[in-house]
Structures are given as structure tokens and as C-alpha cells.
């Protein structure tokens, strides 16, 4: 592995996430809000609080993604979400099966839009995949699904709180804008529009989008 290949991987991942990226060269303590990844071609396994890169040579054939998924399933069970994207051959199918059997969720990129459909197709042929999504939907879906086993505010609740904070700021600005009628009128209109947005989100939060089973 060259320094250039490591840099390119980190640079590529960084284009799609604002979260800090951590390459695991030996062992790292897992922390919320970070993305951990092993060097190219290396396998990694989980313990309860750490991710460890395996540097010894494993008997062939070996699939790094399968080892990662199996390890995650054994440690975290139903909390795991296994994702298979575009790729060749059957890499990941056995690991995704381990995630499924441990009670976790399984997700694949829709093979019809994948550049190399082998991996997602194999996974769908080999087990009952929970979700098959377009690439553009996978990130938002993961952001939603991680909330099922963690106590996070819902996205809409965060939006409402943020908008209410903004409305309170507009009120404070309006109280101090008496010497500038044009600015005060602008702030008044902004506040009225914001209150309509807050009401719309409040109404949506009161509506059940998923019927009870």
C-alpha cells in the first residue's frame, strides 16, 4: 500500500461526507460521529469498543468485507446495518447473511443502476435483503435508520427547534430595528414566513406516516 493510495481513498470519501475520517492502521477506539476505514486491501474486525486491522496473511480465499460484516454482526447484532454497493463477484454476500441472521438490517444498491451489479445481485439472490435502494437514497436512508436503536431527535424535531431558534432571533432583531423601517419590514415578513413553515412541520409531525401493523 502506498501513501498515495491511502490519500486518494481518504480524499474520495471526504467528497461525500462532512464527518471526520479516521484510517485505522492498527487499532482505534470507536467514537460516535467519525468514519473509520482500514487501509486498502486490509481486513478489519470489531471488538466491543474497538476496530482492529488484521495485518497477518489469512488463508485464501478471503473476503475482507465478509470478515468485517461477520465481526460486526457477532458484536453488535441487531444494531448493525450492512450495505453492499456496486462491485464484482460475490464479495459481501456471506457477511450480509451474518448480519441478517443476527437481526440487523441489510441494504443493497439497486443492481439496475450499479456500474458493476454482481455484488448486490448476489446478495439479493442469497438472502432476503431488507432494502434495495438507488444510490442517492442510501445515505438519507442510513441517516434515518440509525435512529431506530439510538435516542436521537428526529430530523423534523431538529428542524422545528432550529426554526424556532431562528424565529426568536428575528424577533430580537426586529425589536432593535426601529430606526430602519425597511429592515424592520423585511424582518417582519421573514418572521411571518418562518412561522408558516414551523406550523407546516408541526402539522406533519402530528400525522402518522406509517400505519400500525
Is the pLDDT confidence value at 1 over 50?
no
pLDDT value at position 46? 94
- List residues bridging with 29 in a β-sheet: 50
Specify if 213 maps to a domain: no
Residue pLDDT, tens place only, 67-88: 999 999 999 999 999 999 999 9
Specify if 211 maps to a domain: no
Verify that 124 and 164 share a domain, yes or no.
Answer: no
Report DSSP letters for 164-211, one per residue: HHHHHHHHHHHHT-TT-HHHHHHHHHHHHHHHHHHHHHHHHHTS-SS-
Identify the helix (H) or strand (E) that includes residue 45: strand 43-46
Q: Which domain holds residue 86?
A: 3-149
pLDDT, average across residues 139-152: 76
Specify if 142 maps to a domain: yes
Name which of 83, 142, 81, 90 is nearest 116 in CA terms: 90
Verify that 184 and 134 share a domain, yes or no.
Answer: no
Specify if 212 maps to a domain: no
* More confident site: 10 or 28: 28
Q: Look at the chain and report how many structural domains it folds into.
A: 2
C-alpha cell at 94: 456471506
Verify that 39 and 131 share a domain, yes or no.
Answer: yes
Verify that 21 and 125 share a domain, yes or no.
Answer: yes
Distances (CA, A) of 37 to 69, 71, 206, 208: 13, 15, 40, 38
Q: Which 3 state secondary structure label does DSSP give 114?
A: coil
Verify that 61 and 15 share a domain, yes or no.
Answer: yes
Please report which confidence band the pLDDT of residue 149 belongs to, taking 50, 70 and 90 as the band edges. low
Verify that 97 and 169 share a domain, yes or no.
Answer: no
Task: Answer with the one of 106, 125, 149 that is the final residue of a domain.
Answer: 149
pLDDT value at position 208? 54
Residue pLDDT, tens place only, 16-68: 778 889 999 999 999 988 999 988 888 899 998 999 998 876 666 668 899 99
Verify that 145 and 167 share a domain, yes or no.
Answer: no
C-alpha cell at 65: 468485507
Report the CATH number that the domain containing residue 55 is assigned in CATH: 3.40.50.180
Q: What is the mean pLDDT of the chain?
A: 84
Please report which confidence band the pLDDT of residue 5 belongs to, taking 50, 70 and 90 as the band edges. very low
Residue pLDDT, tens place only, 113-130: 999 999 999 999 978 999
Verify that 56 and 131 share a domain, yes or no.
Answer: yes
Amino acid at each position: 500500500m502506498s501513501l498515495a493510495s491511502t490519500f486518494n481513498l481518504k480524499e474520495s470519501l471526504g467528497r461525500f461526507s462532512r464527518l471526520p475520517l479516521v484510517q485505522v492502521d492498527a487499532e482505534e477506539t470507536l467514537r460516535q460521529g467519525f468514519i473509520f476505514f482500514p487501509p486498502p486491501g486490509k481486513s478489519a474486525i470489531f471488538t466491543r469498543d474497538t476496530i482492529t486491522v488484521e495485518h497477518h496473511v489469512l488463508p485464501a480465499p478471503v473476503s475482507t468485507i465478509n470478515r468485517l460484516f461477520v465481526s460486526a454482526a457477532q458484536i453488535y447484532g441487531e444494531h448493525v446495518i450492512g450495505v453492499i454497493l456496486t462491485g464484482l463477484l460475490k464479495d459481501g454476500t456471506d457477511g450480509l447473511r451474518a448480519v441478517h441472521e443476527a437481526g440487523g438490517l441489510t441494504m443493497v444498491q439497486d443492481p439496475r443502476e450499479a456500474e458493476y451489479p454482481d455484488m448486490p445481485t448476489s446478495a439479493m439472490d442469497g438472502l432476503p435483503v431488507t432494502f434495495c435502494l438507488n444510490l442517492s437514497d442510501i445515505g438519507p436512508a442510513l441517516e434515518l435508520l440509525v435512529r431506530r436503536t439510538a435516542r436521537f431527535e428526529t430530523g423534523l424535531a431538529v428542524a422545528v427547534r432550529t426554526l424556532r431558534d431562528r424565529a426568536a432571533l428575528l424577533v430580537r432583531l426586529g425589536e432593535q430595528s426601529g430606526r430602519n423601517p425597511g429592515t424592520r419590514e423585511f424582518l417582519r415578513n421573514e418572521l411571518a414566513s418562518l412561522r408558516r413553515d414551523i406550523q407546516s412541520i408541526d402539522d406533519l409531525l402530528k400525522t402518522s406516516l406509517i400505519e400500525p401493523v
